[in-house]
Amino acid sequence: MPELPEVETIKNDLNKLARGQLILRLEVRKPKLLKPSTKAVRWAIVGKVIKQIERRGKLLIFYLNGEHLLLMHLKMTGQIVWQPPRGRFLTGGHPIVGVSSVPNRFTHLTIYFKSGARLYFNDVRQFGYWQVIAKKELPKIYSKFGPEPFSLEFTRESFWQSLKKRGRTTIKAVLLDQKVVAGIGNIYADESLFLARVRPSKRVSTLSKNNAGDIYKAIKVILARAIKARGTSFNSYVDGQGRKGTYWEKRLVYGRRGEKCKRCRNIILKTLVAGRGTHYCARCQK
């Protein structure tokens, strides 16, 4: 699943590509991906200009002229493909191995712009969605998320207080909870906990305030590194400018089962925590 660094990269790049573009037409192959309905989405976006694109957690928010916003969530297997009037396709989101052209059998939604550009939405498992809302409804959407990792609202103390309310669960599950901190998924939860030297399966009630502080600091460090690297690339993933993110080459523990720990040379293990494949070092992480 694309996480905060990948979605942030896509947002930044799409702002360069899509801002100022007039939406001419919407083609729909899978109506179930549109909320509240195909008719409502068409009415809200066709004939409108994209003014700005923002991000909240893993959610992309398209500001349009008029009274509505378009929300896009890639979920587990969503992918955005930008086709300029001339030049190569630019892709961001989940990789679709073996698929190199659009539209294809996974292309469910397409926006046609007056300039001749197109925006395709591919989704193998069809968990992603587009939703239109009135601008006044945005605070309600935002209320479903915890603080952004680099916001003033996300402090050591606020993080510690959130942890104390979730003592029975594992720290990995807490980091995946979007109401605790927005934008972290499986990759960066594992990476952050490795950097903090905390085992993902550890119960929150057993953590000290110092442990919480280490995790808080690690979250910021890991996400900053990943954003600078333009996200994690594996298989065919490239960002919104067609460039591969380089964090995959720098990762500390995620996806490294059977390899040597970069700290202690012990073998990296993989287990299941919070229903997700989880990588850790049994020697470094206690």
Sequence ranges of the domains in the chain:
4-142, 156-280
Q: Say which CATH topology domain 156-280 has.
A: Helicase, Ruva Protein; domain 3 (1.10.8)
3 is catalytic: yes
pLDDT, position 243? 53
276 is catalytic: yes
Domains 4-142 and 156-280 share a fold: no
2 is catalytic: yes
219-251 pLDDT, tens digit per residue, is 999 999 999 988 874 434 444 445 566 787 889
pLDDT, position 101? 81
> 4-142: which CATH architecture?
Alpha-Beta Barrel (3.20)
Catalytic-labelled residue, pool 244, 262, 263, 276: 276
85-127 pLDDT, tens digit per residue, is 987 777 787 777 777 788 999 999 999 999 999 999 999 999 9
In the 3-class helix/strand/coil scheme, how is the chain assigned residue by residue? Answer: CCCHHHHHHHHHHHHHHHCCCEEEEEEECCHHHEECCHHHHHHHHCCCEEEEEEEECCEEEEEECCCEEEEEECCCCEEEEEECCCCCCEEEECCCCCCCCCCCCCEEEEEEECCCCEEEEEECCCCCEEEEEEHHHHHHHHCCCCCCCCCCCCCHHHHHHHHHCCCCCEHHHHHHCCCCCCCCCHHHHHHHHHHCCCCCCCEHHHCCHHHHHHHHHHHHHHHHHHHHCCCECCCCCCCCCCCCCEHHHHCCCCCCCCCECCCCCCECEEEEECCEEEEECCCCCC
265 is catalytic: no
pLDDT, position 9? 87
7-54 pLDDT, tens digit per residue, is 998 899 899 999 999 999 999 999 999 999 999 999 999 999 999 999
140-195 pLDDT, tens digit per residue, is 999 999 999 999 999 999 999 999 999 999 999 999 999 999 999 999 999 999 99
Catalytic-labelled residue, pool 3, 6, 8, 191: 3
Catalytic-labelled residue, pool 56, 58, 199, 202: 58
Nearest to 189 by CA among 278, 262, 58, 286: 278
